[in-house]
Every structure is written in structure tokens, then in C-alpha cells.
Structure 1
């Protein structure tokens, strides 16, 4: 399960980086054609523009505020994903016993193994696909907001603090800060992960820093803000997982 999750994260990270290098940068408007543009990207662009008006023309504040709102809205999905992960972890000892009991290379025993695994899931009210579904729902939302930031023409023409939002951070402060936030968040999330899987702790932050150094600083601001939110979110669920494991041991 950890291997599949790691591969999925790598694919998502690579897709984000590659899309940033070769994405459609045409300004998004209400006239933009296509389901993706019209129903996903443009609504986020419209909200950002109107939020900037509320923040006296500050698109940087609009990005920060909208990032927190989106993350709050996605929080229930994250909770479901984490609870599913905890439930699967609690079943791990029984799953290992079943693996020792059956020779999965034998077709008949493999079928019996699968049947008992499904019975184990059903008995404990665990859906093995429940951990993946929230991720699949979140990705279109996060990617649409990502593209809205890049393709909203007004953002590229505004500044925030020392940043020209349409250009990379000249001081590289925000890309490094975004990478550091990603490292800390990943470290909290993956602290119980086997050592060979912890390459993600270093790969993801490096990719964020590299992308942030080349792409508009508005994206680094988005990644940094989301990273800060995810740090506190991961800390909370790390404590939740610890409480759950302690309760199950008693």
C-alpha cells in the first residue's frame, strides 16, 4: 500500500512540474473554450479576481486566502483518507497472517486468500479503496486552482511584498520556504514509513524548489501557503493516529 501511494505521489509531483514547464499559459476568460477551462479553471480565476478587489487589489492576499479556504473545504476528504490509512494499518498483522497462511502463487490458494481478505475488510468495516478516492477527488480541484493562478492575467501584472507575481522570486526565498514546508509536512506524514520509502522526504521538496525557481512566484506563494496549512493538518492527524493506536493497544 505504501509503495502504491509513493508511486502515485511521484506521478502527481512530476505531472505538476512538467505541466508548469509546458502548460497552456493563454489568459483564462469567460470565453475560454472547453469543459476544463469553463467549469474548472475560470471559476477559480473569477473568485481570485473578486477576492483581490476585497483585499484592495492584492492578488497575493487573494491567493493566500483562497488556498486556506480550499484546504479547509478539502479537510473532510483528508480526514477520510487518514482514517482509512489508520484502519488499514490496524489490520496489517492479520493481513500478514493470511499471507503466511496461503501460497498466493497457487491459483486456488490465491483465490482463497482474496476471499478471506475481503471477509477481513467486511468484518472490520474497511474499504481498501477508501484511501485513494479522496485523493482522486482532490486532484482536479487543486490542479484547477493551480492553472487559474497561472492563467489569470491580472495576477501576472501585480506585485506582492518583494515579489513580481508573474516572475520567479529573484531572491529564491519563497521557493526555498515552500520546499522547507513540504519537507516538514512530508516528514510528519511519513515518520512511520520504512526507511527505503523516505526518499520522498527529499525528492518532493527539491522538485518544489526547482519548480519555484523557474515558475511565477505566485505559484511559490500558493505552494508555501498550502504547505503551512498541511503542516498543522498533518500534526493534528499524527496526534489522532497516536491516540487511536494507543486505544487499540489497551
Structure 2
């Protein structure tokens, strides 16, 4: 219970309030749809709830199903915002303990079982002292994958969504002009690049990721219906704004430079004081 309270304290009230409001709106949108959506079993009920929420929110915009998907996407992003905040905070703490982790790796090369066990024990103690959950980065992905699958199935099980139109798009078909795949890739790159810029130590894999992910998203968006591509575009725009707000690399760099300057100034003062004492 105490750990849960500490997590809530770290996240702060605003993301939680926004998540609750988003959940309430999703429930209202789903309840406001007066049609019938067939469902079988627990998973079918989840898909039906998604379908009802999209169709219900679409009715608020004159049965514009594209707008319904846009609204639904934004609500889902607000719903998982507390997890994203927690993930980013854990990632930033992980970056701070990287020098200590490197020292542990040097201390325990891991050439034998005992060495690996000792390193794991000290690593876990370091994580606990710093308040880090090494699996926190997986939470948003674990949550979003069922959302993507449910949305994909909602499109194919709902004739209305499958045949719906939005701007130049046929929501159940591929984007004929590849505009959505390009936008999805661009905003994936923007979000990944911003996140990478706040990382103090980068290796070849870290530097390559902002260029690999957009390519994967581009070809994935080409292979799925426009409705899912639209979800990715809106979600990635939200992710880019969120990254800039919560993980502003320019602000983080300034803070690190100021902290490093203070450390250098303190070191100079100590050396100066030592020279004065010797005299």
C-alpha cells in the first residue's frame, strides 16, 4: 500500500485526474451509442466497448468516424498518461545511475556464476535505493498492444467503421496516397529524437533507434487499414508533445550543465581552500 502511495505521489495529481476524466468520457461515449454491437466472451466485450466508444464519440461530430477515432485516440492517451509519466521518471532515474551500473559491471565482470549473482544483488539494491523499477518502460507497451489489437478488430467487426470515410480516406482500406504512413513515421522520429537528446550517454544502438522505429512504423502503417494508421498518427503527435513537456531535452541539458558547473566550482573552492591551509 505504501509503495502504491509513493507511486501516486511521484506521478502527481494532474495525470491521474486527466486519466479519470478520459475514462469517464470513454464510458459516456460508449453508453451514448444506441446501436447493437455483437460480442462473445471477455475479449469480445472489450472490442465491443471500443467499437461503441468510437461510434458514440463519432455521433458527437455528425457521425464522422474519423473524428471518432481521433477523439478515442486522445482519450486513450490521456487514460495511460499516468503510466507514461511513471515510465519517463523511471527512465530518467535510470540514466542517473548509469555511472554506478558501469562501476558494478567493472567490479563484477560476470565471468562466473558467483560474480553474476553478486552483481545482480548489488544492482537490485541500487535500483531499490534510487526508487527505480527496471520493468517500468514495458508498462505502456503492455497496455497499448491490446488497445491496438482491439481497435484493429473493432474496424473489421464493425461494417460502419470499415466502410466509413474521413477526408480522403476509406477507413477500412489503406491510405492511397501514403500520407498517414509518412506522418506516422515523421512523428515517431520526432518523439524518439527528443527522447534520445535527453539521454546523457548514448551508444550505437541508442543513436540508431530514432531512425529504425520510423521505418518500422512507416511500413506497418502501409499494411494496415487507414483507421489504424490514423490512430498511430494522432497517438504519435500526442507522444511528441508529451515527450517535449515531460522530457524536454533542452531543459534537461541546461540543468545538467548547471549541475556540472556547480560541481566544478565546488571542486575549485576545495582545492583553493587546501592551498590556503598549506600556507
The reply to whether residue 109 of structure 1 matches residue 108 of structure 2 is: no
Does residue 216 of structure 1 match 2:205? no
Q: Residues 201, 128 of structure 1: CA spacing in aligned structure 2 closer, same or farther, 3 A cutoff?
A: closer
Structure possessing the higher radius of gyration over alpha carbons: 2
Match of 1:225 among 234, 237, 242: 234
In the TM superposition, 1:156-235 aligns within 5 A as: 156-191=162-197, 192=199, 193-235=202-244
Alpha-carbon distance in 2 for matches of 1:157, 1:166: 6
Report which of the two has the higher share of helix: 2
Unmatched 5+ residue regions in structure 2?
Answer: 1-35, 263-279
CA distance in 2, matches of 1:156, 1:82: 36
> 1:80 touches 1:134 (CA, 8 Å); kept in 2?
no
Tell me: CA distance 1:52–1:35, structure 2 relative to 1, closer, same or farther (3 Å): same
Closer, same or farther in 2 for the Cα pair 1:153/1:63, shift >3 Å?
same
1:137 paired residue among 121, 135, 143: 143
Tell me, in whole angstroms, the C-alpha distance in 1 between the residues paired with 2:118 and 2:151.
45
Q: For residue 55 of structure 1, what is the aligned residue in structure 2?
A: 61
Which residue in the other structure is 1:20 paired with?
A: none
> 1:218 deviation in Å?
1.6
Distance in 1, matches of 2:243 and 2:228, equals: 22
Indicate how the Cα distance of structure 1 residues 239 and 203 shifts in structure 2: closer, same or farther if over 3 A, else same: closer
Q: 1:155-174: per-residue Cα shift (whole Å, max 9, x none)?
A: 12221112222222222222
**RMSD of aligned Cα (Å):** 2.4
Which deviates more, 57-66 or 146-155?
Answer: 146-155
For this pair of structures, how many residues does the alignment match? 221
Greater relative contact order (CA < 8 Å, ≥ 6 in sequence):
1
Structure 1: 5+ residue runs without aligned partners? 1-28
Instruction: Map 1:63-78 to 2 at 5 A.
Output: 63-78=69-84
Between 1:124-133 and 1:155-164, the stretch displaced more is: 124-133
Contact 1:150 1:219 in 2 (8 A): no
